[in-house]
A and B are shown apart, each in its own frame.
Chain A
Amino acid sequence: MRHALRVIAAEALKQHRRSFGRPLVVASMLLWPVLQLAATYYTMLPVLDTPGIASRWPDAAQPARLLAFLAAGAFAYLFYFSLVQSAWHFSFERISGTIELLFLSPASRLALVFANGTGALVQNTWLAGCFAVAAASAGGALHVAHPGMYAVAALALVVPAIVWGAFLNSLLVFSRDSAFLYTLLDDPLWFVSGVRLPLFAMPLAIKAVGLAFPLTSSLIVLRGALLDAQPLSALLEPLALLTGLCALLFAATAALLRLGEARAQRTGSMQLY
């Protein structure tokens, strides 16, 4: 454990030195999401003011509730997307030749990918996090059943996001191409996970695909706990699914790292770009 913490501290320092205060972080983690959120909100506004909306989607009958729904989605998506971006940066280790050094060092590989994801998450989302807390307390959109639910929501967002980030990083031990991350995990991810649309509006097949991504369940918990004042007992189902998905992703990460390293030793591909 001490060893893992030292790896995490070292990675966090590296991430801090590399990305703190960089224009890319401010733009991709605050400016673009806010502009996109506004565009999505205005695009959906015309279907909201229709007869019978109160029975179809009671949660968002008023524009302010719709905005809170979409903002919660955009915020959770940001957490997951920051890890997609971190995995993309992890692929730069290969370009700059340092991934081989990482694997030559005695650091635990598992601690390494987790540290990379955690460090990136902290570096990337603190700004948006402060912004979201300020906006939520100023807007008065929060409806919480019990103060403990803040902790539940935070854990349901952060823990799966970190496991997700570690999983993405472990994929890059195999692949030299990281463009697939953006292609596969930017637009399709928000679409299937219900970031901009309530789950009931989606066809069954898309819903099924969406539930395979931890973001979907994270969002159900986040919105249920913070916006709809649901108690813990109402959210047990998504929380159980989330726990299962995290365990699965964790096991997959550990297995992929072993397989990837063995393969790299055999083929010598670690130093190739």
Chain B
Amino acid sequence: MPVAWATLKRNWLVMQRAYPWTYFIGTLAPGVFTVVLALLSYEAIGGGRVSDWFRGASGTPDYLGYVTVGAAALMFTTRMVLWVAKAQITEQREGTLESQLLTPARRLPYLLGVSLQAFLTSLLELTCLFGTALLLGVRLPAPDPVTLAAGVLAALVAVVGLSIPVSAIMIAAGEAHITQNTLFCLIGLVCGFTFPPALLPAPLTWLGELLPATSALRVLRAASLHAAPLGEVAADLLLCLGLGVAYAAVGLLFLPHAERRAVIRGASA
């Protein structure tokens, strides 16, 4: 735990002194533009209506609410992946990966510290997105606070779990740009952030179910759009937590091998 706390403190300090504005705008802009795109097409193309089958496929007639929650969740996911999965490759680029490997600190507490700092920062940034959506005229119903909190927690476990194997891939390959953007495009398509995954061809729907973000989104939407009680979303909540923990376990298993490769290859990342 001291490792997590120390990492949290260090990263918070770094963020305060040198906040990555380009990253912030680079992730806020897609979220805002997704909401604006949905808003404009809903009004000018759909004439303020949405097709009848949308309700059956998504469980809600509220197209704008559906897209806004999804855009916020996508922004949360990309931000968390950018912080957590890129933590180690950033250490490598800055030349501190070796010193990190030499300390007796374990990897999981380190990543948890990074995640907590990223989580707090992302929450602040998400309020920017929701504020913009509110200004644009999107209205969300009052959520069920307990389910929402559980959903956010499950989403946190899901994205941190997903980030650990991605981190291993990044330091093993010595490359982040292609890996991260391919991941973002892929989850943007198969996890149902801006449209119900039922529209996709069946194999892609299954692929989406293998990623914990899909079930996390179902919980978040049930909480924010229907104010569903906790009991209703228990199955999705457990699925999301289970997948998140499984990804984390696989990632932690592979991380030592990836670190070895990164060190052997040298600081050429």
Pair from one complex: yes
A interface vs B, CB < 8 Å?
Answer: 23-24, 27-28, 31-32, 35-36, 38-40, 42-53, 56-57, 60, 179-180, 182-183, 186-188, 190-191, 196-198, 200-203
Residue of A nearest to B50 (CB): A46
Known interface pairs A47-B42, A203-B40; 14 further A-B residue pairs with C-beta atoms within 8 A, sorted by A's residue number: A31-B182, A32-B182, A39-B194, A42-B189, A43-B34, A46-B51, A47-B49, A50-B50, A56-B44, A179-B22, A180-B22, A182-B26, A186-B26, A202-B44
Residue of B nearest to A40 (CB): B37
Determine whether B188 belongs to the interface, using a CB cutoff of 8 Å to chain A. yes
For chains A and B in complex, what number of residue pairs have CB atoms within 8 angstroms? 116
A35-B186, A36-B185, A39-B194 in contact; A47/B41 too (CB < 8 A)? yes
Residue of B nearest to A55 (CB): B47
Q: What's the minimum C-beta distance from B232 to chain A, rounded to whole angstroms?
A: 24
Contacting pair B38 A51 (CB below 8 A): no
17 residue pairs A–B, Cβ–Cβ below 8 Å: A27-B178, A31-B185, A35-B186, A35-B189, A44-B41, A45-B51, A45-B199, A46-B51, A46-B195, A48-B46, A52-B47, A56-B44, A182-B22, A183-B22, A191-B37, A198-B45, A201-B41
Binary per-residue interface labels of chain B (191-211) against chain A in the complex, 1 for a CB within 8 Å, 0 otherwise: 000110001100000000000
B interface vs A, CB < 8 Å?
Answer: 22, 25-26, 29-30, 33-34, 36-38, 40-47, 49-54, 63, 67, 177-178, 181-182, 185-186, 188-189, 194-195, 199-200
Residue of A nearest to B31 (CB): A187
Contacting pair A35 B41 (CB below 8 A): no
Q: How distant is the Cα of A35 from the Cα of B193 in the complex, in angstroms?
A: 13
Give 7 closest A-B pairs by Cβ, nearest first: A47-B46, A49-B51, A201-B44, A35-B185, A187-B29, A46-B54, A42-B195
Q: How distant is the Cα of A34 from the Cα of B164 in the complex, in angstroms?
A: 27
Contacting pair B194 A49 (CB below 8 A): no
Q: How distant is the Cα of A267 from the Cα of B52 in the complex, in angstroms?
A: 64
B29 contacts across to A, CB distance below 8 A = 183, 186-188
B50 contacts across to A, CB distance below 8 A = 46-47, 50
Q: How distant is the Cα of A28 from the Cα of B49 in the complex, in angstroms?
A: 35
Contacting pair A36 B188 (CB below 8 A): yes
Q: How distant is the Cα of A50 from the Cα of B51 in the complex, in angstroms?
A: 5
Residue of B nearest to A23 (CB): B178
Q: What's the minimum C-beta distance from B189 to chain A, rounded to whole angstroms?
A: 5
Q: What's the minimum C-beta distance from A49 to chain B, rounded to whole angstroms?
A: 3
Residue of B nearest to A34 (CB): B185
Residue of A nearest to B36 (CB): A191
Pick the contact of B181 from A28, A39, A42 — CB < 8 Å?
A28
B46 contacts across to A, CB distance below 8 A = 46-48, 50, 53
